[in-house]
């Protein structure tokens, strides 16, 4: 019988391209943890891509869907929840996470983020802003909220998935 790795939920937060989905996938593949990909669920429910949701309904509509989905996570346990990059910007969302689990912030340098996002076209906030200075500015605006939400912070530059997960497991 597999021993459970954690007996609480893990909320992965952080800027776009910091590795939330990658690490969630690794935890799923390696430890059979259940994963909730917030963006994927929202896109699936709406029947359109994140970019199309932003374009059709606006960002606030998307943010409300995120908040509603987080509230739904209340009844889950022992899952990894890969949040959208903007999810911790609402204070109530952070309270919701803290009530239901442990919050892990993944960070990366703007240059690393740019490399990781440059070929992706479903990030409306970055679509016409794929450069280091835009990424650095938005990251700087958000960092205080990210850090306040985090139980632990893991810097991901130059580390592979296994190293990041080992660090996470050790420190949680």
Q: Which residues bind ligand S3P (CB under 6 A)?
A: 16, 20, 39, 50, 84-86, 123-125
Closest by CA position to 115, among listed 135, 101, 96: 135
Using an 8 Å Cβ cutoff, are 84 and 132 in contact?
A: no
**What 3-state class would DSSP assign to 36?**
strand
Smallest distance from the beta carbon of 93 to ligand S3P, in angstroms? 12
Smallest distance from the beta carbon of 123 to ligand S3P, in angstroms? 5
Q: How far is CA 169 from CA 10, 102, 109, 110, 156, in A?
A: 11, 12, 22, 25, 14
Ligand-binding annotation for 45, yes or no, is no
CA 138 – CA 31 distance, rounded (Å): 33
Ligand-binding annotation for 86, yes or no, is no
Smallest distance from the beta carbon of 2 to ligand S3P, in angstroms? 28
Ligand-binding annotation for 7, yes or no, is no
**What 3-state class would DSSP assign to 152?**
strand
Q: What residues are paired with 52 via a beta bridge?
A: none
Question: Between 65 and 168, whose beta carbon lies closer to ligand S3P?
Answer: 65
Smallest distance from the beta carbon of 13 to ligand S3P, in angstroms? 9
Question: Between 7 and 134, whose beta carbon lies closer to ligand S3P?
Answer: 134
Question: Between 5 and 125, whose beta carbon lies closer to ligand S3P?
Answer: 125
CA 75 – CA 61 distance, rounded (Å): 24
Ligand-binding annotation for 116, yes or no, is no
Ligand-binding annotation for 67, yes or no, is no
Q: Binding site membership for Mg(2+): which residues?
A: 21
Binding residues for substrate: 39, 63, 85, 142
């Amino acid at each position: 019988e597999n021993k459970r790795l954690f007996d609480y939920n893990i909320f992965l937060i952080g800027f776009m391209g910091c590795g939330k989905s990658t690490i969630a996938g690794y935890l799923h593949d390696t430890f059979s943890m259940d994963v909730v990909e917030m963006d994927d669920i929202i896109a699936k429910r709406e029947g359109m891509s994140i970019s199309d949701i932003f374009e059709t309904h606006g960002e606030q509509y998307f943010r409300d869907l995120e908040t509603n989905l987080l509230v739904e996570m209340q009844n889950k346990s022992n899952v990894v929840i890969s949040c959208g990059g903007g999810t911790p910007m609402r204070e109530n969302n952070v309270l919701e996470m803290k009530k239901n689990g442990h919050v892990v912030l993944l960070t990366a340098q703007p240059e690393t983020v740019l490399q990781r996002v440059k070929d992706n076209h479903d990030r409306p906030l970055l679509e016409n802003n794929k450069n280091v200075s835009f990424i650095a500015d938005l990251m700087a605006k958000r960092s205080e909220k990210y850090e306040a939400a985090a139980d632990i912070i893991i810097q991901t530059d130059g580390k592979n998935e296994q190293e990041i997960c080992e660090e996470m497991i050790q420190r949680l």
